[in-house]
Structures are given as structure tokens and as C-alpha cells.
A and B are shown apart, each in its own frame.
Chain A
Amino acid sequence: MSVSDVNIKRRKGKLEKNYYGYLFTAPFIIGFLLFSFYPLIYTFYLSITNTTLMSETSKIVGLDNFKQLFDDKFFMQSLRNTWKIWLLNFIPQIGIAMLLSIWFTNNRLKMKGVGIFRAIYYLPNLLMPATIAVLFFNFFSMYGPVNQLFSQSTDYFRSTGWTQGIVIFVQWWMWFGSTLIVLMAGMTSISPSYYESATVDGASAAQMFTKITLPLLKPILVYTLVTSLVGGMQMFDIPFMLTDGRGSPSGSIMTMNILMYMKFSSTKGHIGAAASVGVVIFIITCVCAFAIVRLLRDKDPEGTGVSSKVKSRELKKGAAGV
């Protein structure tokens, strides 16, 4: 028996011990259990108690918090507001980001300065949301610069439409750059040969977009949609900082997270009631995210997502090449 034989034997013995996998994932698992899973469970527990920060004792009150929540006009309003603000900023956000990324990645246009544009569009995302909110508050305040442009001054933050509009605009302006980058990355990773062959076959730009770009971009789109949904349902900083932190005027920019924060920061600090809002947000987000993933799930068994026509042509081309 040579030395190498012994070595092989020893190494084999070690290799069979699969616990290395567990060991290397342990930090994540422990972190997840401690900092994500436990708080989640604890939030569910809190939501059925009347815990407040100002008293050291609490008791379980069942579903009272939820009952109160659904009786509350502000909660239903915050639910509607959150969806409205998110949808109205997400649709133009993805639309414009899509349009720009098609232009920027188009091989025929070969636009110059794409990097600069991309950086400029992304810049607002680097600013602190608090700074942006204060900036816009000052722009549109009664004695602010916007009013000085017109002969009639408007109290923008007393108008529900204006205030919501400002929040929607800020959200759009802050996030379309980030969506643009993700979409562009997705588009540049689509093999140019698809487009080449489509061009050879005389496909129009619209056809190429709907038949090649969109299907191949689907995973990226699902990702953008889900992350934006999660972010949108948790919208807090801009609407919170823009007016009085209570969704004024008339609760028009009260989002679910502001409502949750209000319950938490109320006189007694009702974290039980706040947790019930959190639970509702969690359930809504989960249901919607699952629905999106399910609806946009790849029905192509091979999982590439390319429409079969293109693919068969691609195969043919490959065969001809050989």
C-alpha cells in the first residue's frame, strides 16, 4: 500500500461527512432564525396581545386588535392609499424604464453616453429619502419657490390630490433609475444572436420586443415586480417626512406603514396594535407576491422562456452551420 493510497482513503472518509454543507450555511440559518424568523413569529404573537411600551404587563386579547383595525376608517384608507400610490408610481416607472432600456441597449441605435444617462437617472436613488422629502416640502410650501413662480399661491399640502401627486412623483423619480439598471442588465444578457436571426427573418422591432425581449425578460420582470411590491407596501419615509407624519391632509398619504408607526408611537406605544398592522401588511404582501410568481410562472417545460418558434429556428441554424 503506497502513501497515496492511504491519503485517498483518508480523504474519502472525510468527504463522506456532508456536514460541511450545514456548517457553511449555519451562519445564514442562525442569522435568519434569530433576526428574521423569530421577529416574525413574535410579531404574530404581539398582534394578539394588548402590549404597550408604557406598561410592563400585557395580556392576550385574541383578535381584538384586528377587529379594531378593520373598524378604523384610517386603516381602510391607508390600504387604498398604499395601493394607489404604489400602482400610480410603478406603472410609469416600469414603462419608462422599459422604454429607456430598449433605447439604451438597442444595437441599431448605438446611443452614446448611455453610462452617463444611466448614472444621472440613478442618482436620486442615492439621496436620503428624508432629504428628498424635506426638499419637496420646501419647494411646495406656502412660502416656497414653486408658489413664487405663479401669481396665485396654492396651499399644495392642503390639497389631497397635489400631495398624493407629489409623493407619486417622488417615488417614481427615485426608483425608475434603479429599475432601469435592472432591466438593462436583463436585456444585455439576452443573446444578440436571437435578434440577428430575427432581423434576417424580417421581424419588426415590435415583434422582436414582444417575441424575444419580453419572454426572456420575464424572470427579471417578476423580480422587479415583486421587489417593488414589497417596497411599495412598506412605503414610509417620503410620505412620513413630507407632511406632519400623520398622512395629512385628510389622511391622503397615510400608508400602512405610517399607520403602523403611528400606533407604535402613540401616547402609550401600542405595539400590540402596531403588530397587527404589520401582520396584515405581511399577509397582503405574501399573497400578492405568490400570485405574481404563479401568474407569470414559466409554462415552458424547458425553462428557457424563448418562444418555440425562435428556438426551433435557432436549432435549424445551428444544424445548418454544422
Chain B
Amino acid sequence: MLKRKMAFALACLMSVGLLAGCQKPSTSTTTKPSDNTPKTLKIWSFTDEVKTYALAYQKEHPEVKVEYTMIPMTNGEFQTKLKSTLQSGDVPDVVSLEISFVKEYVESTYLADISDLSPLTKDMKTYQYTLDIGSSQGKLKALSYQATPGAMFYRRSLAKKYLGTDDPVQVQAMVSDMNKFKDVAKKIKDASSGDTYMVASTGDFANLYFANRQKPWVENDKLVIDPKVNDLLDMAKEFRQNGYEAQATQWQEGWFAGMNDSLVDPATKKAKQVFSYLLPTWGLPYVLMQNGIPKDNADKTAKVGKDTTGDWACISGPMPYFWGGTYVGAIKNAKNLDTAKDFIKFMTLNETTLKNWATGVYNNAYLKAIDNTIGDTLGQGPGDFVSSQKVVDSIVSSFDNSDASKFIGGQNSYKAFQAAAPSINAKLIQASDDAIQRALNDPMANYASGKGTKEETIKAFKEAVKNALPDVKVD
């Protein structure tokens, strides 16, 4: 008898256990948080940058419990995770949105309207283009802490050796358009007998072409292939076929190796150098300065590469462009909308915060004092270009003698960006840009390496767009 009862009880228990999984986790909401329980601010982002802000915010608001989640976006993991969470209810309060997909969210109904921060943006003289990107139908939904005009960084020593001068004004005159850029590439290749590449990858200059299109990618739900795409394909092929680029892939090993002279041709074991990188404002502190130093080799027994600090120079490059930018928005049905808004305000519209951010106050030591579990790498060096013209104007002179300016041979990069930022135009930016430009990667790489005709390439591109975006018409 006992056995049977036990079995019955166990069976019941199992069914209950199963059903419990389906129950909505409603218990936590019934107990209203009283004023002394800490508010939780859930932040999702795809880099560590926003974590720095989160820690700084934590310092000023000890009553708020900040929960930071980092999800990489290498192959779109972040976007996927965010999209699939939006309808589930358990959403973060604040999300970071990269320029390539921010528009999709701004145009959707998921982000909270933060138009009440608009007067503050006037006060801070936030660059208009960042506001345009963050707004939809007159409603402000996302803000950025940075503006991202593009630039070109080149190695002074190599310029002197192969071009006869390292003066930024003269070098800029030599590369003032893409054809001249190509001529310089040839000159450098010939003078260095192939040991110095103009750029590390063909992907480096793709953004320049994208930024200078006449028409947006999608008009009336139809894909528009701008003549610039054609130019880009030609240039990519020319660079690849003539050996003007190192055949590296952006954001991967070989690409970074060029920054500290540790690039070695895999087959011939010959050391190679890279003359220039086309990077925007954030490229200097985040990419060049962090990779232009000797690094541990694979088994951490020795350092490879050399310190290239001081050997760089910054010019505006062959075509004006802007690249990237991280925006933040609050999710409409977030649990702590007020705190979320307050955080966005703190992060993008607070003079002190932005000043600290740009001038390197939020370094590792500063952040460690707030949370000692963060490790030794998190920290914000000086030099990121912020979205507020007011702050930019007030700090630009402090970059005459900063780490960033030391890195580029005493130049004040901020000054150049200050001049370029107001003229950035965001009219081409659309929600589907990222998907379309990703779709071009593979056909372009094939074409550059000599596979297939241009017609086939364009056809493959169209097919890829059709596949990636079911609601865009392709003819």
C-alpha cells in the first residue's frame, strides 16, 4: 500500500514540477518594492564602454543596483538576443544600440519616448546628426555620448621613408581622393618592394564609399545600388590584385598585427608593415592606442611587435565619412523607466560625465575604487570624441598635450574632429544598412580575389539582400 501511495505522490509531484515551469513568475511583482529596497537598473550592451558609465553612475547613485550584461555583436548575437527578449517581458531597462541597427529600434514601438530630454540637448549643443539618428517622427528615443567623424591614421616613419615627408598637410594632399590614394599605395608598394601595404584589408575603405553614396540603400522598399558600390568593387579588386593590402580581415589577428609591426607573411615569414588605417574618432583610443604596443605572443612567453606610439599622424583622408557610434535608449515597458532615463541623461547629457569620459578620468584605478572585481583592463583612456559640442569646445585645448596626442606625434586630433563633426549628415542612415552592407561583404571579397565577373558579384549581392531582408524588393 505504502509503495503505491508513494508512487502516486511521486507521479503527482512530477506533473506539478512540469506545470510549475509554465507558470508566469508573477510572485515577485505582487510585493511592491518599498523605498529602501534598492532599485535595479538592468543595462545591456555589446562592449565594455557602457560598463564604465554604469560604474560611474553606480558611484553617484549607491541606492541603485546596476546590473550590467555584455553580449558581443560579432555575428549579431546581441541583436538576436535583444530582439527575442523584447516580447518576452523580462526586458532590460537600458540598451545600447549600435549605429548599424539603432534605427530599427528607434522606428519601432519598443523604445520609450525621451523627448523631455530635448531641451537639455540644446543646452549641451548635442551634434544634430546624432539627434536625427536617435529620433523618429519627431520623438527622441535614443541618444549617443559620442560623435564619430572619420579620419585616416598613417605611420610617420613609413611616410618619410617612402613618400619623402611625414607632414600631415602634405600627406593629406597626396591622398585627397581615392585615385590619389591608390597612386600612393602603388608608390609605397614599389618603394618598399612589397613589404609595406597601404591598408591592412579591403574592408578598411568600404565605409568611405558607403558614407558618400547619393541615395539610401532602400527607396520605396526597393534596393538601390549606388554607383559608389561599383567604385568600391573596382577599388577593392585593384588593391587585392596588386598587393596593396595585407589580405587581413578587419577586427582579426592580422589586421591588429599591422598596428604594432608584428605582421608576418605566413608563407615567406617576412615582416610586413601597414602604412595606414582608416578609422574614425574612436579608432584612436580603442583600436590604435591599444594595439600599437607590444603584445604577448601566443604562449605568453615573450612580447611581439614594437611600440609605435608617436609614429602616427592623423589626417582627414580621401573622403569625408563617419563610422559607428553607440546609442542608448530606454525600453518602454522597463521596470525602472525613471532610473533608466536618469542614467541616459547622466551618460549623454551631463557635462561632467562627458568631460571625465573624454579626458580619461574614468581610468582603471577610478573604476576599481568603485568595484574591485572588474580586473585590470577596464578603463577609459582619453581621446574619445563626445557628442556635445559644448563639452568638445571646452576640452579641445587639453588635447594639445595628452596621451592621445603623444600617440599621433603631438598632433591634436580633437581639433580636426571638432572641425569635421558639425558637417556630418545622417540622411542616408536606414534601419537595414547593416544587413545590406554585411550582404555585400562576401560577394565583394570574392570579386576582389578575382572570382567571378562584376555582373555575377552584383547578382550575388542582390540575392544575399533578398535572403537577408524578406521585405526589400530586389530586381
Task: List residues of A whose CB falls within 8 A of some B CB.
Answer: 14, 23-24, 26-27, 30-31, 34, 53-56, 65, 68, 72-75, 141-144, 147-148, 150-153, 155, 158, 240, 244-246, 248-251, 259, 262-270, 273
Contact = CB atoms under 8 A, between A and B. Distances in A.
29 contacts: A24-B7, A24-B11, A27-B15, A27-B17, A30-B19, A34-B22, A53-B86, A54-B83, A54-B108, A56-B87, A72-B467, A73-B466, A74-B464, A141-B253, A147-B267, A150-B267, A151-B267, A240-B75, A244-B438, A250-B451, A251-B464, A262-B467, A263-B470, A267-B101, A267-B431, A267-B432, A267-B469, A268-B431, A268-B469
Contacts of A158: 445-446, 449, 451
B442 interface: yes
Interface string B103-137: 01100111000000000000000000000000000
A242 to B, nearest CB: 11
Given A23-B11, A54-B108, A266 B248 contact: no
A251 B449 CA distance: 16
A73 B15 CA distance: 47
B205 to A, nearest CB: 19
Contacts of A147: 266-267
B468 A250 contact: no
Contacts of A245: 75-76
A275 B11 CA distance: 35
Contacts of B257: 143
A266 B470 contact: yes
B80 interface: yes
A150 to B, nearest CB: 7
B438 A246 contact: yes
B267 A148 contact: yes
Contacts of A74: 463-464, 466-467
Contacts of B247: 142, 155
| Max chain A Cβ within 10 angstroms of own Cβ: one of B86, B435, B442, B463 | B442
B470 A54 contact: no
Contact of B442 (A141, A153, A248, A265): A248
B250 to A, nearest CB: 11
A269 B83 contact: yes
Contacts of B470: 65, 68, 263, 266, 270, 273
A23 B12 CA distance: 8
Contacts of B76: 245, 265
Which 5 residue pairs of A and B lie closest in terms of their CB atoms, listed nearest first?
Answer: A147-B266, A248-B442, A245-B75, A153-B267, A74-B467
Contacts of A262: 467-468
B14 interface: yes
Given A143-B248, A269-B83, A30 B18 contact: yes
A141 B76 CA distance: 21
B401 interface: no
A142 B254 contact: yes
B87 A72 contact: no
Contacts of A31: 18
B167 interface: no
B249 A142 contact: yes
A262 B267 CA distance: 35
| Max chain A Cβ within 10 angstroms of own Cβ: one of B263, B438, B464 | B464
B155 to A, nearest CB: 20
Given A54-B104, A266-B435, A23 B8 contact: yes
B342 interface: no
B72 to A, nearest CB: 12
B104 A264 contact: no
Contact of A53 (B83, B264, B266, B442): B83
Given A72-B466, A72-B467, A26 B11 contact: yes
A25 B150 CA distance: 65
B255 to A, nearest CB: 9
B253 A143 contact: yes
A266 B8 CA distance: 49
Contacts of A142: 247-249, 254, 266
B338 interface: no
Contacts of A24: 7, 11
Contacts of B428: none
Interface string B248-280: 110011100100000111111100000000000
Interface string B75-96: 1100110011011000000000
A249 B19 contact: no
Given A53-B87, A142-B266, A267-B101, 10 more contacts: A27-B14, A31-B18, A34-B22, A54-B110, A143-B266, A148-B267, A246-B442, A250-B451, A263-B467, A267-B434
B426 to A, nearest CB: 18
B229 interface: no
Given A74-B463, A142-B266, A265 B248 contact: no
Contact of A250 (B75, B109, B249, B460): B460
Interface in B6-28: 7-8, 11, 14-15, 17-19, 22
